[in-house]
Amino acid sequence: MSKRINAILKYIEKDDIVLDVGCDMALLGIELAKKEKFSCASDLRKNIIESAIKKVESLNLKKFIEFYVSDGLKNINNPKINTLVLAGMGAHLIINIIDESKLKYNKIITISNNDHYVLRKYMTGNGYKIEKEEIIFEKDKFYNLIVFVKGKEKYSEEDLIIGVNHQNILLLNKKNEYIVNKYKKILNNIIPEKDRKRIERLIKIFEVKR
């Protein structure tokens, strides 16, 4: 099982009825089904859903997964769903999909490919707080899982940049070190003064050991 799927599973609780948006081959749904836990899975691409259904049928797990072909949440009609998983997509697509949900879901688990600051800022400005975060390292890449739940909390700019309640501090520090090195390489080039100032400010924040 992939480390990313394994990490998502840790944050799914007994009463969560999950919709995995952009499920691809429904790997998350399959792991939940193996534990006899029902979930929903959707993807934009019809052919992917057809392949996922075949796979799930071959494993004899079809009764545990409800499939949808859907662009975001457009065709989703199961009122029991209370938890969204959005993984392997860009932050802006994730935000568009959540915006479309009228913010009715209790819990939203994301693994965005980029722009975690933008995602945290949008979510915490729209009725959610950050419950937990976890850095995952898989196939030479860092991933940042975030669990948002309904609620209100104040966050500093630094919180929105680094994240809060990180569960794996060792990997968080490694990821931040990697980012600092990346930024330092950029500073070796000739860049506009305002970009230099912004990057220097970010380096100071990312350099702090947590």
Ligand X SMILES: C[S@@+](CC[C@H](N)C(=O)[O-])C[C@H]1O[C@@H](n2cnc3c(N)ncnc32)[C@H](O)[C@@H]1O
Where do contacts with ligand X occur on this chain (CB under 6 A)? Answer: 21-24, 42-45, 48, 71-72, 87-89, 93
Taking the CA atoms of residue 109, residue 35, residue 170 and residue 173 in that order, the dihedral angle to the nearest 10 degrees is -20
| Shorter beta-carbon distance to ligand X: residue 21 or 108 | 21
* Single-letter amino acid, residue 86: L
Q: Cα–Cα distances in Å, from 15 out to 41, 48, 82, 106, 128?
A: 17, 28, 9, 11, 19
Q: Cα–Cα distances in Å, from 6 out to 11, 30, 65, 76, 138?
A: 9, 12, 18, 25, 11
Alpha carbon 180 to chain centroid distance? 22
Residue given tokens 């859907």 in the structure block: 70
| Shorter beta-carbon distance to ligand X: residue 88 or 179 | 88
Question: Least Å distance between CB 197 and ligand X?
Answer: 35
Question: Least Å distance between CB 111 and ligand X?
Answer: 6
Question: Least Å distance between CB 138 and ligand X?
Answer: 10
Contacts of 80 (CB under 8 A, 6+ apart): 17
Question: Least Å distance between CB 107 and ligand X?
Answer: 16
| Shorter beta-carbon distance to ligand X: residue 94 or 203 | 94
| Shorter beta-carbon distance to ligand X: residue 89 or 130 | 89
Question: Least Å distance between CB 115 and ligand X?
Answer: 16
| Shorter beta-carbon distance to ligand X: residue 26 or 160 | 26
| Shorter beta-carbon distance to ligand X: residue 94 or 164 | 94
Question: Least Å distance between CB 2 and ligand X?
Answer: 7
